[in-house]
Structure formats: C-alpha cells, structure tokens
C-alpha cells in the first residue's frame, strides 16, 4: 500500500513573522481628544474666570449732557473650578516571557497597544457621560416620529425630514443664546451621519446630472451644507462583555455596542482658547502626565522585589468639562 506524505512531514508549523490578527480599534477614530479646547495647566485644580453674559450686548445710556460726565457702567465676574483626576493602567511583562518570546512578538508594542486602547475607551465613555446626555447644554432638541412641536424635529430618518431647515431654525436660537457666536463644530454618531448622507433633502441640494459622478454626500460636503468648520463622527465601539469569564474555546466573550446612537452635538469651539475667549468645552490637562493629543504618556519600571520583569504603564491627566453651556445644543433621538 503506497504511503502518502504531506507538507508537515518535512515542515514544523510555526507562527508567521509577517502576519498576526488583532481586532484592535484604530485610536484615530476616537473623538474625546478631538472635541473642545485644550488648556494646559500647572496644578491639578484651580479656578478660571467667567464673565456673565448678562453684562454684555446691552444698550447703555451713553448720552452726556453739556459739561456733564459720562455715565458709569460696571460688571462682575465669578470663578469656576476644574479638578484633574489621575487615570492610569499598566501591564506586566515578565523576564521569563520576554526571554522566551519569538521574534514576531513585540511584547512592548502589544502591551502598550492594549493599555492605550483601554485608557482611550475610558475617555470615550467619560465624553459620553459629560457631553452627550440631556440636561447639560443650553438647549435640548429631540427627534419625534411625527408632528414635531416646540424643541422637536421630525426624525431625520424620516423621508420627509428637512435636516438643513431644522438646523437653520435652531441655529438662530443658538445665536441668540450664545450672544452671536455661530456654531462651528458638529459631533454626531455614525448612524446620524449615515442618515444625513441618504436624506432626500440633503441629496437634493447636491444633485448631480453626471451619470458617471453620482451625488455623494461626504463629510466635507456635509460641513459645507451646515456651514461649520469641522464634523466629528462618533463610531467608537465598546465591548460590554464580562472580561472575567471565557467561553468554551477559551476566548473572552465579545458584546460590542456603539458608544452612542442618534445623537448630534452642535457647539462653538475656540481652537486655542485664551483670556476673555469663549468655548463650549475645556480640556484641562497636565502636560507632564499626558501625552500628545491628550493621549496617554508611557513609562517603564521594574517590578517589585521578588517579581522579575517590568511594568509598562500609561497615564493621562485630563479634566473635560462644559465651560459655557450656552455654546452647545444637544440633538437626540434623530434616527
């Protein structure tokens, strides 16, 4: 009886050195570090000055009688506080593991990637809790299935909806509330963005007569229609499964969900801030403990005595907060 050989008779399977699969989320898609004014500070907590809007945009009596004196006017200020907490995660790489790792495994890179992803997911959840919940901004606007009234709009997923008409209506209210500041930045969930790109009212505004170049609603085109400088799209995925258990295959279960849905935040954001400036969101951070673009800063240090190896630790020190509620509108339930 003939003997049949296989490739494994003269080859021992080993992990490839040019391919490995890791379902990591590209941190460039996260938005917590992209929305708001970055404000470097020297202390964990301090105060910043607020000039109440009521003193401004008034028509004071400026008439002066002959040989009289100018009428006096005045204003007051108030102080608000920021407070920066300490956020950090670390991963341990033993000397034994490092010594036995094959060349295709970059333990430092892998560990840093996991720590970075985990810290930034926490920042995304912090962003949602602080800025994407109702009752926090100057006005809340809600989508409804039919017959909108007051601070309501027809859901933009409805084929009869007019998103640009809705926007221009409530943008005028934004201008009144903000003392003339035009909203310059939109932050929306991926389902809202996708809905807008398929909206008949939007497509009608950029309709193409060229069969070889059909109408396509890009992020840039949408920004032009809404007349804003920037659009941030929230597409963060969060795994809500319990990480303390494993399935029958030995894998940690996956229960992915989007960070948020049906949400649209309109805001005025000052890119650089400064004295007597206006911005909706302030990102107060300690540069010595925070990396580039408000991301983690890493350090490596030896483990405690009796434990051979090193820790790779990422930390960041950022306090994100609403500093001017009148410079934001939150639209919810749009899809």
Name which of 139, 224, 132 is nearest 177 in CA terms: 139
For position 304, what pLDDT does the model report? Answer: 84
* Cβ neighbours, 10 Å, residue 176: 11
Answer with the residue of higher pLDDT: 103 or 164. 164
Report, as an integer, the average pLDDT of 250-274: 91
Decide the pairing of beta strands 139-144 and 328-332: parallel
Q: What is the pTM of this model?
A: 0.89
- The pLDDT tens digits of the residues spanning 313-330 come to 999 999 999 999 999 999
With bands split at pLDDT 50, 70 and 90, how would you rate the model's confidence at 91?
A: very high
Least confident of 19-23, 65-69, 131-135, 216-220: 19-23
Question: According to the model, what pLDDT value does residue 7 have?
Answer: 62
Tell the CATH topology of 30-55+73-332.
Answer: phage-related protein like fold (3.90.1690)
């Amino acid at each position: 009886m003939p003997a049949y050989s296989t490739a494994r008779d003269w080859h021992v399977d080993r992990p490839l050195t040019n391919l490995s699969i890791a379902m990591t989320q590209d941190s460039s898609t996260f938005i917590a570090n992209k929305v708001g004014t970055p404000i470097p500070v020297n202390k964990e907590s301090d105060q910043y000055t607020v000039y109440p809007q009521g003193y401004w945009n008034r028509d004071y009596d400026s008439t002066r009688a002959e040989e009289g004196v100018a009428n006096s006017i005045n204003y007051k200020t108030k102080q608000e506080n920021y407070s920066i907490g300490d956020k950090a995660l670390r991963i341990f790489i033993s000397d034994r593991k490092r010594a036995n790792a094959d060349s295709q495994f970059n333990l430092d890179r892998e560990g840093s990637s996991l720590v970075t992803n985990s810290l930034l997911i926490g920042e995304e959840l912090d962003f949602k809790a602080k800025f994407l919940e109702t009752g926090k901004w100057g006005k809340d606007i809600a989508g409804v299935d039919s017959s909108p009234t007051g601070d309501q709009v027809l859901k933009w997923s409805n084929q009869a909806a007019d998103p640009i008409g809705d926007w221009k209506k409530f943008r005028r209210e934004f201008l009144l509330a903000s003392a003339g500041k035009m909203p310059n930045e939109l932050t929306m969930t991926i389902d809202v963005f996708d809905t807008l790109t398929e909206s008949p009212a939007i497509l009608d505004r950029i309709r193409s007569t060229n069969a070889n170049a059909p109408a396509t609603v890009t992020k840039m085109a949408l920004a032009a229609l809404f007349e804003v400088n920037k659009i941030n799209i929230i597409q963060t995925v969060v795994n809500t499964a319990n990480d303390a258990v494993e399935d029958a295959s030995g894998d940690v279960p996956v229960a992915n969900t989007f960070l948020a849905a049906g949400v649209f935040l309109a805001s005025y954001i000052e890119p650089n801030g400064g004295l007597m400036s206006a911005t909706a969101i302030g990102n107060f951070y300690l540069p010595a403990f925070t990396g580039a673009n408000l991301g983690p800063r890493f350090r490596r240090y030896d483990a405690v005595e009796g434990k051979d190896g090193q820790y790779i630790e990422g930390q960041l020190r950022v306090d994100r907060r609403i500093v001017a509620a009148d410079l934001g509108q939150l639209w919810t339930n749009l899809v």
